[in-house]
Structure 1
């Protein structure tokens, strides 16, 4: 299912006079790669998380909401004296929207190649309806169940991971309209009910995990807001309080911790779902803030690990928003044809390589040039001032 990360907030969004947290950008890339691997393994799990080897990749969503809160507060908290709401929203649209458009287009191009027993609705979907879903998907407006042309209850059935960008926009709007004015004490107090809501979904919910958020219904929205609220607020507070944990080899340490947390198989057996939910709440509430604190302890500098982090960071958002149409195709191929795991592993590795290549090409030839031109067109007067 389309549980993936919101990797769209980079420290490249900060003002020109501020330094970048290169390690945090790199961790975004590590999480992006892990979530692609997680999605590829889903093809053999049959929807049973107890059978999935790389199981907790969906927690990358919660990690990136935490990063988003940190980076948005770092980039914009001190700029409101000379920045209007219009400029803020313009900057966010320029950062996010071009790749959202491309992701929806790629999803449309590959849509009919996924038709088969696994996705029976595809063959019955007229082209006009698919094109309508594509155009609406480019706006990031959540689509109702009546426009679910795949059968997975996705608010963006051509490119499922776009659901987390919808919540990214919600967080950005809430921050600009009022959340930015909250004192640290108020933010800290709000974390208590936010953590309770997170635990209600993960520990006391029927699944014992944080999977969900992509469906436009009461249950999906509850999960989505539960996953958004605590980490985003915690990221803001973490940045504002200045809590850092500088360590040597910070990127390597954080990357290992994050990859291990996202790769761990499901905790507890059948009938012990609360144990897995408790593990996931622990990741979101304790481990992920610790990882960000370590990563934030080293600002942009030179060195091999920082150069590697920059590469991962640059590819993270394009990889996130373009990989899932390939996963749809891979999953349908595996299930419809009963592909053995040995063959599937080879093709899965090639799919990962193809996703990375598409992400690089998207960044190099589309996203970066378009964002540069849009910034020159719509932010020129402000930059000159």
Structure 2
């Protein structure tokens, strides 16, 4: 979900609107996860119902900017250089996300969820350190019990697959011509549509566990959007569309906020919506975003959204764990039948969103960007 071109000094166009779209999607992911608590496990009642599709949008955006940033640089860049650039861009915040996850797990207090009273401190610290590496933990180390490959920071699963995409690009995909890439993209699209319309819940949700079913979901969610984004970067030339930020941003918000399609007897309808959103609409959103420009305050808004997008995404979920544990501990029922609980829960959720945005800004300004700048200077002295 991160810009692939950020560690290069380059005179080519920087797609500020794509930065803004990434930030919008990150905010909607946080809101989606907060509002899952209000749905009480009922997918059909979930507000910002398709917020989970932001991950698929991030994969597509990643493929697009990967091709834009690196396709023409391999004549002067080694494989080692590429790997170092990607580690510098992604890994500082992965470490912070794991630290925040361990910190909040230690202070989590809910009889319904595992906490430090159930898990030895040494096991917690070991899980945190493994989280630094992004290596999935085995089921025996699933200290939270949510069947996550990264139990201290669930969304790190998508960064695990992001690294896989980076490796696939560097080893294989950069050598593929447009015809081969088009064939691979079409096959991946068919696999994605099949997954979505045949899934038990009628969606593409999943990918965060180390088991065959979840790994299939993760690879299927990764391959089409990443391949499509890479292909889009090679076969299209962005146009000059007025109000591109407005139209692309509005379309993205609508697609991620759309209510559940169909009912419990028609899950395939929602699966069709998911797959067509990813296969057809998200490439249009990226093309629109790449085909416009912003000035003045809108330029500042896009830069802000772009800067906080990755930190916001990678740090927010430990706060979701804590929010869910709090709701469980005090047996809070955030429904219209319990207006007091609903208002309290909504106020806390809004506060968590504000805290996460603020923390993301502080981290990017005082940690992520300075660390990446230092590492870039250390390993790429010629830049």
What are structure 1's unaligned runs of at least 5 residues?
1-6
Query: 1:3 maps to what in 2?
Result: none
Deviation of the 1:190 alpha carbon: 0.9
* TM-score, scaled to structure 2: 0.95
Deviation of the 1:197 alpha carbon: 1.1
Contact (CA 8 Å) 1:31, 1:60: kept in 2 or not? Answer: yes
Q: Secondary structure at the match of 1:30?
A: helix
Q: Kindly report which structure 2 residues correspond to 1:1-385, keeping only aligned pairs within 5 A, or say none.
A: 7-120=1-114, 123-299=117-293, 302-339=295-332, 340-380=341-381, 382-383=382-383
Query: 2:337 maps to what in 1?
Result: none
Contact (CA 8 Å) 1:15, 1:75: kept in 2 or not? Answer: no
Q: Secondary structure at the match of 1:270?
A: coil
Q: Secondary structure at the match of 1:240?
A: helix
Deviation of the 1:170 alpha carbon: 0.1
Distance of 2:8 and 2:44 partners within structure 1: 41
Contact (CA 8 Å) 2:241, 2:288: kept in 1 or not? Answer: yes
Distance of 1:344 and 1:118 partners within structure 2: 18
Distance of 2:311 and 2:3 partners within structure 1: 12
Distance of 1:200 and 1:311 partners within structure 2: 37
Deviation of the 1:122 alpha carbon: 5.0
Contact (CA 8 Å) 1:14, 1:74: kept in 2 or not? Answer: no
Deviation of the 1:19 alpha carbon: 2.1
Contact (CA 8 Å) 2:108, 2:115: kept in 1 or not? Answer: no
Q: Secondary structure at the match of 2:74?
A: coil
What are structure 2's unaligned runs of at least 5 residues?
333-340
Contact (CA 8 Å) 1:116, 1:123: kept in 2 or not? Answer: no
Q: Deviations over 1:57-76 (max 9, x none)?
A: 11000000000000010000
* TM-score, scaled to structure 1: 0.94
